[in-house]
Amino acid sequence: MQEEMPMNEEMPLKKKSMLREEIESLLREKGITLEKRITVMSLDTGEAYYFNDYPEALQFLKEKKGRWYLTTPGIRRER
């Protein structure tokens, strides 16, 4: 009989390769970071807000007026 794996057991974290760590370090030095959240930016004022999921971001946008831009997770340049 095959034993079942408990459902609450977390998967081990994936270790970054040395090359990836080096690239991310170089990007950080240039003010570029990886953004895991969804960014909502005002095209009129330059304000930026960050959300963990799309429904949360869309709920936020329902209350706003003006021109807003919704981004996917990805690269973020620090100013």
Domain presence at residue 45: yes
**38, two tokens:** 């969804």
Instruction: Please give the residue range of the domain that contains residue 64.
Output: 34-74
Domain presence at residue 65: yes
Domain presence at residue 24: no
What is the rounded distance in angstroms from the CA atom of residue 29 to the CA atom of residue 18?
17
Q: What is the mean pLDDT of each run of 10 residues along the chain (79 residues)?
A: 55 73 79 79 88 92 90 65
Q: Give the per-residue pLDDT at 12.
A: 64
Domain presence at residue 21: no
Domain presence at residue 66: yes
Domain presence at residue 63: yes
Domain presence at residue 26: no
